[in-house]
């Protein structure tokens, strides 16, 4: 039996109540003030993963800091707490540990954590990229958008996931824009893309303007607040929101019935898996970053796979092939933490067609 662990943390203070219900009505400040003193701990046992080629079991390990705390508290303190979580995984017998959400972003994106553990470490970002792009391609087909000819925007293109998405998309589209706050880093990525693909991409720090002109947005920023509002989006646009916390405001779902927002990186896990905890997903599904750790365990590849901020296309292609071998696959469309039904997709398609027609007639 292959063994792994995955480090999780509450994205927001209210998420802590999923494990400890008695904190449900506590103020956020009180929850954050207390949990920062709690050491990492085992959240649950994960069983039943069976790909037909191999079987695995694992554990979720909680690192009690919210997303806001991960960013605002001293980096050394946060990194040390993540290392402590990794050591909990070591003691339970895991041979590889995955870093979830902001634990994969803090500091040098897992490199220091890996140096301080005796087991392999991965952030899961490679498979997150693979599944986000697979979902975007499927969504484009549903919305009758020719991805090759569409205005495609990568929001947060200077991050590891964003840069990798941009490099792969550059091989598939003609009109690609990269947006982030640091234009110097954007220019560097743009030069790399031109060198490898021959595509001249646009770069901008004006994210609002870029969003308003995009047919397809892949959102992967590490912002802790939503940055895409209803009035920002074109009629009929697609947004693949890979970021956690999400980059898209919930108001988009309430107001823009002509826009398709999907969560990036949600996959079906092979076997009769039991996660031992409810993290808001349907049974047998998980984030792609979690799945990457499971895939590497099933393959027996106990090695540091995705670390740091220089994610390569080869890593994405490798984990995608291993995922297919072990039966991992994209789990339909989800939006704002729930599945999108066929009827809802049809409503979005029809609303988009009406809105686009009105724009073309000059009504909007």
Residue spans per domain, the chain: 2-126+266-330, 131-264+333-361
Q: Residue written as tokens 């947004």?
A: 239
- The C-alpha atoms of residue 89 and residue 93 are separated, in whole angstroms, by 7
Within 10 Å of residue 72's Cβ, how many Cβ atoms?
Answer: 12
- Token pair of 263 as six digits: 């969560």
- The C-alpha atoms of residue 195 and residue 199 are separated, in whole angstroms, by 8
- The C-alpha atoms of residue 262 and residue 241 are separated, in whole angstroms, by 6
- Token pair of 105 as six digits: 């972003």
What confidence score (pLDDT) does residue 331 get? 83
- Token pair of 70 as six digits: 């991960």
Beta strands across the sheet bearing 55-62: 120-122, 96-99, 2-8, 55-62, 41-50, 271-274
- Token pair of 153 as six digits: 């925007």
pLDDT value at 28 more than 90:
no
pLDDT value at 18 more than 80:
no
Can you point out the beta strands (E) in the chain? 2-8, 41-50, 55-62, 96-99, 120-122, 151-155, 175-179, 202-204, 216-219, 238-241, 260-263, 266-268, 271-274, 285-287, 329-330, 334-335, 338-339
Give the chain's length: 364
Are 273 and 284 within 8 A, CB to CB? yes
Within 10 Å of residue 336's Cβ, how many Cβ atoms?
Answer: 15
Which neighbouring-strand residues pair with 287?
266
Are 266 and 288 within 8 A, CB to CB? yes
Residue 198 DSSP code: -
Q: Lowest mean pLDDT: which of 69-73, 166-170, 218-222, 277-281?
A: 277-281
pLDDT value at 184 more than 90:
yes
Average pLDDT score, the chain: 91
- The C-alpha atoms of residue 311 and residue 78 are separated, in whole angstroms, by 23
CATH of domain 131-264+333-361: 3.40.50.720
What confidence score (pLDDT) does residue 327 get? 96
The predicted-structure confidence for 68-104, as pLDDT tens digits, reads as follows 899 899 999 999 999 999 999 999 999 999 999 889 8
- As a dihedral over the C-alpha atoms of residue 25, residue 26, residue 29, residue 33, rounded to 10 degrees, the angle is -140
The structure's pTM equals 0.85
The predicted-structure confidence for 126-160, as pLDDT tens digits, reads as follows 998 999 999 999 999 999 999 999 999 999 999 88
What's the gap between Cα 73 and its chain centre? 22
Q: Residue written as tokens 């449900």?
A: 24
Average pLDDT over residues 114-134: 94
Are 127 and 265 within 8 A, CB to CB? yes
Per-residue confidence band for 50, with pLDDT thresholds at 50, 70 and 90: very high
Longest alpha-carbon distance in the chain: 65
Cα dihedral 31, 36, 40, 46 sign: positive
- The C-alpha atoms of residue 247 and residue 264 are separated, in whole angstroms, by 11
Are 61 and 7 within 8 A, CB to CB? yes
> Cα-flanking dihedrals φ and ψ of residue 130, to 5°?
-60, -45
Residue 154 DSSP code: E
Q: What is the DSSP string of 262-283?
A: EES-EEEPSEEEE-SS--SS-T
Residue 109 DSSP code: T
Per-residue confidence band for 32, with pLDDT thresholds at 50, 70 and 90: confident
Nearest to 96 by CA among 3, 20, 186, 184: 3
Reduce the DSSP state of residue 122 to 3 states and report it.
strand
Q: Provide Rg for the chain, Cα atoms.
A: 20
Per-residue confidence band for 265, with pLDDT thresholds at 50, 70 and 90: low
Per-residue confidence band for 191, with pLDDT thresholds at 50, 70 and 90: very high
């Amino acid at each position: 039996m292959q063994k792994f662990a995955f480090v999780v943390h509450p994205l927001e203070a209210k998420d802590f109540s999923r494990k400890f219900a008695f904190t449900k009505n506590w103020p956020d400040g009180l929850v954050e003030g207390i949990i920062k003193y709690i050491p990492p701990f085992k959240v649950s046992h994960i069983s039943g993963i069976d790909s037909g080629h191999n079987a695995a079991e694992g554990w979720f390990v909680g690192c009690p800091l919210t997303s806001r705390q991960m960013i605002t508290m001293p980096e050394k303190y946060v990194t040390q707490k993540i290392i402590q979580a990794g050591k909990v995984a070591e003691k339970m017998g895991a041979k590889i540990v995955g870093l979830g959400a902001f634990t994969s972003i803090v500091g040098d994106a897992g490199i220091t954590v890996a140096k301080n553990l005796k087991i392999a470490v991965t952030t899961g970002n490679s498979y997150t990229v693979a599944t986000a792009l697979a979902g975007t391609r499927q969504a484009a087909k549903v919305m009758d958008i020719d991805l090759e000819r569409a205005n495609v925007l990568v929001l947060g293109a200077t991050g590891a996931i964003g840069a990798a998405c941009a490099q792969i998309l550059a091989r598939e589209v003609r009109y690609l824009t990269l947006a982030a706050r640091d234009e110097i880093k954007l220019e560097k990525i743009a030069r790399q893309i031109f060198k490898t693909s021959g595509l001249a991409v646009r770069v901008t720090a004006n994210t609002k303007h870029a969003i308003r002109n995009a047919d397809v947005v892949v959102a992967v920023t590490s912002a802790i607040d939503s940055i895409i509002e209803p009035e920002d989006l074109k009629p009929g646009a697609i947004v693949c929101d890979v970021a956690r916390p999400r980059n898209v405001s919930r108001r988009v779902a309430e107001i823009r019935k002509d826009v398709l927002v999907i969560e990036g990186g949600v996959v079906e896990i092979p076997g009769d898996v039991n996660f031992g905890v409810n993290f808001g997903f349907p049974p047998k599904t998980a984030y792609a970053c979690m799945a990457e750790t499971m895939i590497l365990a099933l393959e027996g590849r106990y090695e540091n796979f995705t670390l740091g901020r220089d994610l390569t296309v080869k890593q994405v292609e490798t984990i995608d092939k291993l995922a297919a071998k072990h039966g991992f696959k994209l789990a339909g469309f989800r939006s704002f933490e729930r599945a999108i039904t066929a009827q809802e997709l049809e409503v979005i398609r029809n609303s988009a067609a009406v809105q686009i027609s009105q724009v073309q007639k000059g009504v909007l």
